[in-house]
Amino acid sequence: MSVLNLSLSLIFVLIPLILSKTLRLGLEKDTFIATIRSIIQLIAVGFILTFVFESDSYLFIILMVALMIGAATHNAQKKGASIKGIIWKLILTFVFIELLTQGILLGFQITPPTAQYIIPISGMVVGNSMVLSILFLNRFTSEIQTQKKETELLLSLGGTPKQAIHLPLIHSIKASLIPTIESQKTIGLVQLPGMMSGQIIAGADPIQAVQFQLLILFLLLTTAAVTSIMLGFLSYPTLFNERMQMHKIKTDEEN
Amino acid sequence: MKSTDKAAIELNHVSYSDEDLDIIKDISGFLSEGKITTFVGPSGAGKTTIFRLLNGLISPTKGDIYLFGKNIQTMEPTALRRTVGIALQDATMLRGSVYKNLAMPKTLQNQELEKEEAAHLLTQVGLDASFLHRDVTDLSGGQRQKVSIARTLVNRPKVLLLDEITSSLDRVSTSDIEQLIQHINQKFSVTIAWITHNLEQALHIGDDTWVMMNGELVEAGRKDLLKNPADSRVQEFVKGEWQ
C-alpha cells in the first residue's frame, strides 16, 4: 500500500467527523484523538516490531510480552478495584495463560519459536484475556452485590466461603465465557476474522489462512476459560476473612 | 433472668464499630439456657447486629462472646453457625424447591436430607408434606417464614435467633409461628432469642427481655420489666413516646 493510498484511507475518518458535526453528536474531538492515537501507536509498534524481529533476541520478545501484560493489567484492574490485590491476580493470570499457550504452541512445535509468531499470538492471547477479565470482574462484582443475602444465608447455615460464593462465581464465569463461545459459532458466516482477512489481503492461500485462524480460535477458547476460572478462584477468597465473614464490598461508584 | 440461670450465651463488654460508627456499645449480659429471650427497642438500636455477632457473621471490635462457656472466637465458624441458627425477617430463599432449601444445611456438609425427614420437619412447622416439591416463589410470607425456620432446624441448633420473623405476617400466621417457636423451645430445649417490635408479643411469648437503645443494653431481666421499667428511656419507649 502506497503512502497516497494510506492517506486516502483518511476519508473513512472524515465521514464520521462530518456526520458527527452535522448531527451535533459532539464526537468530533474524541474521533480526532482516537485517529491520531491509533496512527502514532501503530506506527510506533511497527517500528518496534521491525527492531525486535531484526534483533532476533528473546530478551526483546519477553520485554514486548511484559509490556502487553502491563498494559492489559492497567486496563482490567479498574473493573476489579473492590477485590483486594487485583493487580497481582491479573498479572498472575496473564503470565500463566501466556506460558500455557506458548508452552503448548512451542512445545508441540505447532508454531516456530520466532518473534514473528510469538509476539502477534501473545498479543491476541493477552488481549483476549484482558477482555475476558473485564467481563468477568464486571459481572462478579455485580453478582456479589445482588446475591449478598443468599451468600450470607449460606454462611449463616454453616457453609464455607467457597460454598457460599459458588453460585455468583459460576454465573460470572459462565456469563464472561458466553460472548467467546457465541462468536465462534457464527464465525465465517457473519464476519471473517481480522487476522484471516489480513492474511488473505496480504496474498496468503485462503485455506492456510483458515487453518491458522482455527488455531487462534481454539487458543482463544482456552484463554477465555482459563482466564475466567483462574481469576475467579484467585479472587473469591479475598472477599472473606479468616473467620469466614464477608468483607464489605465497595461499589465502583464508591471507589 | 436470674443469676442462678445457666447461660447459653454470655456477652462480656462487647462493642462493635463499623467505619467509626459505634453500633454496639460495651454490652454485657447473658441469655438463659432453654429460655425465650425477646429483644426489643427502637429501630437502629443494634438488635440485628447483636444477632449477627452471635451467629459469627461479624466479630466484636471489643469484648468476648461465650457459647456454653466457650469463647466463640476460638470455635470453628461453620460449627458455631450450625450451633447458633438464625432466621431472618425477609426469610431469604434459595431459588428452587422447598426441599432444596430444607436440604441446604445438609448439602453444605456433603450429606443428604432424607425425604421422610424433610416431610417430618415440614409437618413440625405446620406445613403439609406436599409442600416439599413446591417452588419457593409460590409460597406466602408465612409459609416462607416456616420453611426458613425448618431449614435452620435441620442443623439441630442449640440456640435459635429469630429476627422479626413475624413483622410482616398477618395475625393468624403470627399466632402459628408463636406456637411453633414455643413448641420448639419446649420440645427440644432450644434457647431462643427473638427480636420483636411488638411489645405485646414480648410479654406474651418471652421468659426474659433485653431492651436495647442506641447500641446499649438499657435493661435486661424477666419479661415483666416491660410493665414497669426502671429506666426513664424505656418508660418512654414502652408508652410509645420515645423519639
Q: What is the ipTM of this complex?
A: 0.93
Instruction: Tell whether the model's pLDDT for residue A204 goes beyond 90.
Output: no
Query: CA nearest A148 in B: which residue?
Result: B92
The predicted model scores a pTM of 0.85
Q: Which residues of B touch A150 (CB under 8 A)?
A: 92, 94
B86: phi then psi, degrees, rounded to nearest 5: -135, 135
Residues whose CB is less than 8 angstroms from the CB of residue B123 and which lie 6 or more positions away in sequence, other chains included:
B129
Average pLDDT rounded to a whole number, residues A218-223: 92
Is the separation of the CB atoms in A221 and A231 below 8 Å? no
Q: How many residues does chain B have?
A: 243
Band (A185; pLDDT cuts 50, 70, 90): confident
The C-alpha of A146 sits at a distance from chain B's nearest C-alpha, in angstroms, of 13
CA distance A242 to chain B (A): 9
Cell numbers standing for residue A251: 461499589
Shortest distance between the Cα of A78 and any Cα of chain B, in A, equals 24
Give me the helices (H) in chain A, please.
Answer: 3-8, 11-22, 28-55, 58-77, 86-107, 115-146, 148-156, 161-186, 194-201, 206-235
For chain A, what is the mean pLDDT?
A: 90
pLDDT band at A239 (very low <50, low <70, confident <90, very high): very high
Mutation target vs B (from A150, A151, A156; most B CBs, 10 A cutoff):
A156
What is the chain A residue with the closest CA to B156? A157
Interchain proximity A158–B108, CB inside 8 Å: yes
C-alpha separations of A120 from A123, A127, A215, A230, A251 in Å: 5, 10, 13, 23, 36
C-alpha cell at A230: 483462574
Instruction: Give A159's contacts in chain B (Cβ within 8 Å).
Output: 78, 108
Range B7-91+159-239 classified under CATH 3.40.50.300: yes
**Chain A residue closest to B18 (CA)?**
A248
Please check the confidence at residue A54 and state whether its pLDDT lies above 80. yes
Residue B1: pLDDT band with limits 50, 70, 90: low
Q: How much is the pLDDT for A118?
A: 94
Q: What is the pLDDT of residues A112-166, one digit of tens each?
A: 999 989 999 999 999 999 999 999 999 999 999 999 999 999 999 999 999 999 9
Give yes or no for residue B208 having a pLDDT over 60: yes
Cβ pairs bridging A and B (under 8 Å): 54
Q: B57: which chain A residues are within 8 Å (Cβ-Cβ)?
A: 152, 155-156, 245-246
What mean pLDDT value characterizes chain B? 93
Q: Is A101 exposed, middle or buried (0-12, 13-18, 19+ CB in 10 A)?
A: buried
With cell 428511656, the residue in question is B233
- B108: which chain A residues are within 8 Å (Cβ-Cβ)? 154, 157-160, 163
3-state secondary structure of A82: coil
Strand ranges in chain B using DSSP code E only, listed in sequence order: 7-18, 21-32, 36-40, 62-67, 70-71, 84-87, 159-163, 191-195, 208-213, 216-222
Q: For the residues B114-142, what does the mean pLDDT come to?
A: 92
Of A149, A163, A248, the CB nearest to B92: A149
d(CA B222, CA B220) in angstroms, rounded, equals 7
**Which of A152, A154, A248 shows the shortest C-beta gap to B108?**
A154
Chain A positions touching B79 (Cβ under 8 A) are 158
Report the candidate in B210, B218, B177 with the shortest Cα–Cα distance to residue B193.
B210
- Do B56 and A159 make contact, defined as CB atoms within 8 angstroms? no
Residue A141 CB neighbours (<10 A) = 23
CA distances A204 to A62, A120, A122, A199, Å, are: 28, 17, 21, 5
Write phi, then psi, for B143 (nearest 5 degrees). -65, -40
Residue A251: what pLDDT?
Answer: 55
